[in-house]
């Protein structure tokens, strides 16, 4: 089994920054560095939506349009951790944020589709007040 644990959420004011972390553990044969990682979020009463993803090499990243220019995803394979740096936060960023690990080994093209991710964390709450 693979476990993903997010941390770093909290209550902040509009314009503030937060850095979320997601650390992966379990199944030692499933090498963290060989899989793309992604962040999703879900606001109350809304569907889960894609935020951003980073490929297994760390060289390619994609973002949802509302995250571009404000959010940065990165990874540290030595720590088996993926990060989401969120700047200039807005009230509409309020949601539970989830990290997810790709279903496919060495995926060539990143996907914003949640079905392409096999393992998920339990989520961390981000609340942005106006």
pLDDT in tens, 59-110: 899 999 999 999 999 999 999 999 999 999 999 999 999 999 999 999 888 9
Q: Could you tell me if 88 and 13 are in contact, meaning their C-beta atoms sit under 8 angstroms apart? A: no
Pairwise CA distance, residues 18 & 9, whole Å = 7
Confidence of residue 26 (pLDDT cuts 50, 70, 90): confident
């Amino acid at each position: 089994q693979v476990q993903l644990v997010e941390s770093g959420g909290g209550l902040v004011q509009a314009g503030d920054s937060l850095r979320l972390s997601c650390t992966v553990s379990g199944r030692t044969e499933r090498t963290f560095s060989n899989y793309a990682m992604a962040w999703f979020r879900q606001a109350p009463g809304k569907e889960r939506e894609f935020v951003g993803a980073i490929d297994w090499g760390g060289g390619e990243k994609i973002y949802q349009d509302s995250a571009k220019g404000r959010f940065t995803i990165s990874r540290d394979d030595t720590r088996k951790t993926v990060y989401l740096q969120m700047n200039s936060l807005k009230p509409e960023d309020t949601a539970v944020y989830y990290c997810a690990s790709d279903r496919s080994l060495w995926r060539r093209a990143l996907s914003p589709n949640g079905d392409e991710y096999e393992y998920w964390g339990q989520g961390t709450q981000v609340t942005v007040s106006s």
